[in-house]
A and B are shown apart, each in its own frame.
Chain A
């Protein structure tokens, strides 16, 4: 088992953002986390990557308890992530941004190696033409791709993607899923994709999914089975959909 999250809880004041959640991720697995806005997905990511410490519970990575490890010590073990709102190093070039991932992630490359790794992943995500541009000047979509390249350059064993496909058209989503499957198989990376709305994408990508609702784990299992579960449909569409059409407004899948 690559990652074990055991009974993890995080509170912000009176709000319980994540409420005793447990799940496991196998090596090289394609895992999806779905849930509406505010269901605790990002907080969960922040605890796995070390931005927050959980109030209780344990996080085990590759057999090692990393619950108390600071964020910078987790990346070299092989945990890479992207951010919901991309966070490039804006005045550095795309090439330098991605190279930073290679230098300080699991790859621990020197400057020259890092540049080579950087070029490889920049090409893989299709940003070669932007390689020498300042990352701050990229379009939001390009920034997402750059973050993906930067996380891949870390040579992670666990890649946590935060809404990486948001705002993309179906063709781009298809390409990204294909790319993720490729790196997953070639480099044996467990990829976790977190989405709010893109159910169609998650059915194409993930083998297993976990559904979060109000900080709790609602359900976990094989993708199609879980997404067709009545309780999940209820969380996403509201009860009224079965009672009458009017309740559907404001909620789209």
Chain B
């Protein structure tokens, strides 16, 4: 349980800084998005060792789920209940996509899976734009719908506060889920798959089943993050904004930087990446990616197991063992 304590302490510090220091809530929320993104992705990438290049499609579908719920239900008089309905629809749409992609692509091994997933994101974006699905390239704007449902004041509060708190909570829930999975039979099955898939199969592990389970869980959290961090916060969804492969790459960087498959990795990776990106854009606006990319390469070369993975090795056998998980 000590690993969870460390996690909760980091979360508490973030929350206290964000709530008590004036002007710090938005920077903290900015970091929390990356932490939550890393934690959701870690359940798949970290626990199975498979890379999904189409991962952002789950966040995108989640953000559409929320927008569709708001846009089509605001006249029904359901009121504030539309918010949980939106989250539910977001989760459902992401899960459906993960089932469809997983059932086909997760039968492939390692690199073949990664290649197969590249098309998912772009394919979905062009489907929406080309078939003029869900508003096509004009997207769905729910600013008015949210005002009608919650009133102007409350709608503003949801965008500036509730959305961030939701992201915060989803990230924490994803981390706790990771902790539970790691310590159950499923965690051992995923470890075996990650380390040697053929040996795992001969040991009696249904590898496709466990990979799909991790994939669905990961997609579930991604959908909720998309619904909260994008739709509720921005009050609109455009396909060109949400189907951006940049987010997938950022998610990969965060997980690898922090330590794939570790509990604290996405928190450390998310905060480190978020801070680097934020300060570089302040100090050297426009040059942040030019500096960030080689810097990240250097860090990943120096710590191939990620920051947390490296620390975990260092504290093995000392009294700090267990606090870093």
Contact = CB atoms under 8 A, between A and B. Distances in A.
Contact of A89 (B183, B191, B204, B206): B191
Interface in A75-116: 75-76, 81, 83, 87-92, 96, 99-101, 103-106, 110-111, 114
Contacts of A21: none
A91 B195 contact: yes
B122 interface: no
A51 to B, nearest CB: 7
A201 interface: no
B185 A96 contact: no
Given A87-B198, A111-B185, A72 B205 contact: yes
Contacts of A223: none
Contacts of B184: 111
Main secondary structure, interface of B, reads: helix
A92 B191 contact: yes
B137 to A, nearest CB: 45
A49 B203 CA distance: 10
B72 to A, nearest CB: 43
A173 interface: no
A191 to B, nearest CB: 17
Given A103-B188, A111-B183, A111-B184, A49 B195 contact: no
Can you list the 4 inter-chain pairs with the closest CB atoms, starting with the nearest? A75-B204, A89-B195, A104-B204, A87-B199
Interface in A142-160: 150, 154
25 contacts: A51-B198, A71-B201, A71-B202, A72-B201, A75-B203, A87-B196, A87-B199, A89-B196, A89-B200, A90-B195, A90-B196, A92-B192, A92-B195, A96-B188, A96-B191, A100-B189, A100-B191, A100-B200, A100-B205, A101-B203, A103-B185, A103-B188, A103-B189, A105-B203, A114-B188
Interface in B95-122: none
Contacts of A74: 204
A114 B191 CA distance: 15
A105 B192 contact: no
B98 to A, nearest CB: 22
Interface in B141-157: none
B207 A89 contact: no
A88 B188 CA distance: 13
A35 interface: no
A100 B202 contact: no
Contacts of B203: 75, 100-101, 104-105, 150, 154
Nearest to A89: B195
A50 interface: yes
Interface of B: 183-185, 188-189, 191-192, 195-196, 198-207
Contacts of B206: 72-73
A97 B195 CA distance: 11
Contact of A49 (B185, B189, B202): B202
A231 B306 CA distance: 59
A119 to B, nearest CB: 15
A158 to B, nearest CB: 13
Contacts of B195: 88-92
B201 A100 contact: no
A111 B186 CA distance: 10
Contacts of A75: 202-204
A138 to B, nearest CB: 14
A100 B192 contact: yes
Contacts of A70: 201
- Most B CB within 10 A of own CB, among A50, A89, A111, A150: A89
A103 B186 CA distance: 10
B198 A100 contact: no
B202 A51 contact: yes
Given A89-B192, A96-B188, A104 B198 contact: no
A99 B203 CA distance: 11
A50 B202 contact: yes
B304 to A, nearest CB: 12
A102 to B, nearest CB: 10
- Most B CB within 10 A of own CB, among A49, A50, A100, A110: A100
Nearest to A72: B206
A90 B206 CA distance: 20
A114 B203 CA distance: 13
B207 A100 contact: no
Given A49-B202, A89-B200, A100-B188, 14 more contacts: A51-B202, A72-B201, A72-B202, A72-B205, A75-B202, A87-B198, A88-B199, A96-B188, A96-B191, A100-B192, A103-B185, A111-B184, A150-B203, A154-B204
